[in-house]
Structure 1
Amino acid sequence: MRAVFLDADTLGNWQGKSHQPIADLSPLAECFDDFDVYGLTKPEDVLERCKDADVILTNKVVLDGETLKELPKLKAIQLAATGMNNIDLEAAKELNIQCFNVADYSTFAVAQLTLQFMLNFATRACEHYQLTAQGAWQKSRMFTLTDFPIMELEGKTLALVGYGNIGQKVEELAKAFGMKVIVANIPGRPMRDNQTTLEDALPQADFVSLHCPLTDETKDLVNRDFFAQMKSTAYLINTARGPVINEEDLAKALKNKVIAGAGLDVLSVEPPNPDNPLLATDVPNIAITPHIAWASHEAKQRLIQGMAENMAGFK
């Protein structure tokens, strides 16, 4: 059986050209007689690279219906991810192409970055580090330098929007810091016993953390009306999907001090357009990381192992 991995560089520098641990693809390689690995694949190269493949492995390469129809040998697609929105699943079903993903491999890694955002807003560690790097502490008139307000997470209220495995892990970690956690119901979904309405949750929250999937219900859920219900001292965290937030509305909310700040690991378009309103230099109190929450070395290896187990079962 022949397989091709179209975008292995999304799992890190698999060729070992950085100081980071190398993602070990050997569990996958052992599943196939032939295993071709490409760092990245442009749309115009997909057919040529996949024409003889029984299995395609990919993270983000788009495989639409027209492409799948041109690959008569293809038997399976294995996603190096949980989300499958880059695959035409209906076309795959019609063509008898099985599609696999891997769930829950990055739960702790995503929860970890969520807490990191909250901790930095509490301690302003990054800002104080920058002061030291700029020489400000060295010139201080006393032993300390606290130019940014510091608070404690203990006793603060965290509202979770989305309560799957990641949301539950964030709850566990937040409670270890002594936080109160409430779970907000997503409008349009049935209310569960452990949930409160979004309208009740937002005014209570010191931090609001998004862990919901991107659906018709959640697209632009976080908008001007959402921010108006939050405390002016509250912070928004998003490690879910970028389009859950209306980015224009968030930029305005930060500029107008409707909320205190935002920590984002995802944006509506990735990589982002230079004119994304959240990247403007006049947007205050925003921290943006480049979609790294999932990408711990341990999570990558769990992902690879999950892919390998799927493929071993497929055989």
Structure 2
Amino acid sequence: MSGVVALDTFDPEGTQYMRQTFPDVIEPGHSSHSSWPEHAVGLFVAKSKVTADLIRQTKELKFIVRHGAGYDNIDAEACREKGVILCNLPGISALNVAEVALALVGACSKNLVEVSRQMRAGERLNKKFKSLYSATLLTEKTFGIIGGGRIGQLTAKKYIGAFDGKILMYDPYIPTDGTTPWSLIPHERVNSIEELAPRVDVLSLHVPLLPTTKDLITLPIMKSMKPTAILINVARGGVVNEEDLWSALRGGVIASAGVDAWVSEPPIKGVYGDVLELENLVMSPHIGGSPAEIQRATCISMVDHMKGMIDGKPPRDRVT
């Protein structure tokens, strides 16, 4: 037995590849699935929580591969303490996440969701309607990128290509020696979020959720932004203090926000209530990795990562 367990369900074609590679893989519904800490050597994880307690209970676990770039649902420190190798899959969904950011900023700037709602309600719109009058141009505006990884890079390129935007970028971990792809992207580096926020027309977030990035954007930061500014979060929900964001949108502190990442997912009415009715909030339910082609490629890569480690090859995209 390979001892490989899939905690979650995955893309059908990718799952077929997983079964071909690991014929004895234990999937949801198997009688031994719930007892995986007793026998799992390798673990495939998407959305399931893998807590420190679960990791400490494991007897044979050596490898975890996270289906996607984020791994905040897995206790990385417990993996490190236990000697479990944790890998993620960065970059596969990056292009689609950048496209989602572009779509959200366009919808925010033109009030497309609210205009669509008003039209469906039978309202005869004209220039006197706030939803039309408050629409803004994006061409040649200033776009702030927080997080200079692959998604941040691709998003910056799209803002430049679509809107001829001026890019300001903040990421204290990206070298400034010209050795990264940023050397080919016209931009200005800034030294802090406090320096960045007041200067931008769009603030776009592209960082993982870590202790250092939790509540990175709070009400004081938003109050320092232009009242016409747009906030885009396609990263992780906890990067923005959500209560502060809802307060900022209700109070007109910023013009609008495009949110694809939520603290509570899926973002349902029972959790968020009338937040989902805010006219200046454009929403999507964390769709950055949703297209079938992305799901398929991610699952295949996940399987290849695990197969390589079990065969004794050095781990790729290692987190711990």
Q: TM-score, normalised by structure 2?
A: 0.79
CA offsets, 1:185-216, max 9 Å, x none? Answer: 35x76894841243443223111111122233
Q: Given the alignment of the two structures, is residue 268 of structure 1 paired with residue 253 of structure 2, yes or no?
A: no
The 1:93/1:223 distance shift into structure 2, 3 A limit, reads: closer
Per the alignment, residue 48 of structure 2 pairs with 61
Q: TM-score, normalised by structure 1?
A: 0.80
- Pick one of 251, 254, 258 that aligns with 2:246: 251
| CA positional deviation for 1:50 | 5.2
- 1:115-264 map, 5 Å: 115-136=102-123, 148-149=132-133, 150-185=135-170, 192=176, 194-197=188-191, 198-264=193-259
Q: Distance in 1 between matches of 2:237 and 2:64?
A: 25
One-letter identity of the residue aligned with 1:130: R
Q: How many aligned residue pairs are there?
A: 296
- Equivalent pairs: percent with the same residue? 28
The 1:309/1:171 distance shift into structure 2, 3 A limit, reads: same
One-letter identity of the residue aligned with 1:83: G
Structure 2 SS opposite 1:34: coil
| CA positional deviation for 1:93 | 4.5
Higher relative contact order (CA closer than 8 Å, sequence separation 6+): 2
- Pick one of 274, 289, 294 that aligns with 2:284: 289
Structure 2 SS opposite 1:253: helix
One-letter identity of the residue aligned with 1:155: E
CA offsets, 1:207-256, max 9 Å, x none? Answer: 11111222333222211221122111111010111112122222221122
Per the alignment, residue 3 of structure 2 pairs with 2
- Pick one of 86, 102, 109 that aligns with 2:96: 109
After superposition, the CA RMSD in angstroms is 3.2
- Pick one of 24, 27, 32 that aligns with 1:34: 24
The 1:274/1:135 distance shift into structure 2, 3 A limit, reads: closer
Q: Where does structure 1 lack aligned partners over 5 or more consecutive residues?
A: 15-21
Q: Distance in 2 between matches of 1:136 and 1:89?
A: 52
Contact 2:65/2:86 (CA < 8 Å) preserved in 1?
yes
The 1:132/1:40 distance shift into structure 2, 3 A limit, reads: farther
Contact 1:202/1:230 (CA < 8 Å) preserved in 2?
yes
Q: Distance in 2 between matches of 1:40 and 1:287?
A: 40
Contact 1:182/1:201 (CA < 8 Å) preserved in 2?
no
Contact 2:5/2:33 (CA < 8 Å) preserved in 1?
no
Structure 1 SS opposite 2:26: strand
One-letter identity of the residue aligned with 1:2: G
Q: Distance in 1 between matches of 2:79 and 2:215?
A: 29
The 1:67/1:258 distance shift into structure 2, 3 A limit, reads: closer
The 1:98/1:221 distance shift into structure 2, 3 A limit, reads: closer
Whichever structure has more helix as a proportion of its residues is 2
CA offsets, 1:30-49, max 9 Å, x none? Answer: 221302322799xxx86424
Contact 1:50/1:56 (CA < 8 Å) preserved in 2?
no
One-letter identity of the residue aligned with 2:132: F
Per the alignment, residue 17 of structure 1 pairs with none
One-letter identity of the residue aligned with 1:234: A
Q: Where does structure 2 lack aligned partners over 5 or more consecutive residues?
A: 178-187, 312-320
